């Protein structure tokens, strides 16, 4: 199955992050790096963006603040 590449508007829509925050996270090593598509075009692998989102959900679910008290 071929890899799907997302452009920046699709990435910001999926993650609800702004363009500048996506690039800040890339600089920190906390977001997948973009793939160069041409001299002025980049994209992100859909699978890596999905993994980033899944990791954020797992982080939330593992947080002690989300544990149910009973």
Tens of pLDDT along 39-52? 999 999 999 999 99
Q: Indicate whether 69 pLDDT > 80.
A: no
Using pLDDT thresholds of 50, 70 and 90, give the confidence band for residue 2: confident
Q: How many CB atoms lie within 10 A of CB 57?
A: 9
Structural domain for 12, as ranges: 5-63
Spatial distance between the Cα atoms of 1 and 47, rounded to a whole number of angstroms: 12
* Average pLDDT of the segment spanning 22-26: 98
Rg (C-alpha) for the chain, rounded Å, is 15
Would 70 be classed as within a structural domain?
no
Spatial distance between the Cα atoms of 23 and 21, rounded to a whole number of angstroms: 5
Number of domains the chain is built from: 1
Q: What is the pLDDT of residue 5?
A: 98
Spatial distance between the Cα atoms of 6 and 53, rounded to a whole number of angstroms: 14
Please answer whether residues 60 and 18 qualify as being in contact, where contact means their C-beta atoms are separated by less than 8 angstroms: no
Would 69 be classed as within a structural domain?
no
Would 68 be classed as within a structural domain?
no
């Amino acid at each position: 199955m071929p890899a799907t590449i997302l452009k920046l508007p699709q990435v910001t829509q999926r993650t609800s992050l702004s363009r500048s925050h996506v690039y800040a996270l890339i600089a920190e090593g906390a977001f997948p790096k973009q793939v160069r598509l041409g001299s002025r075009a980049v994209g992100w692998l859909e699978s890596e963006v999905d993994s980033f989102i899944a990791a954020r959900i797992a982080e939330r679910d593992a947080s002690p603040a989300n544990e149910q008290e009973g």
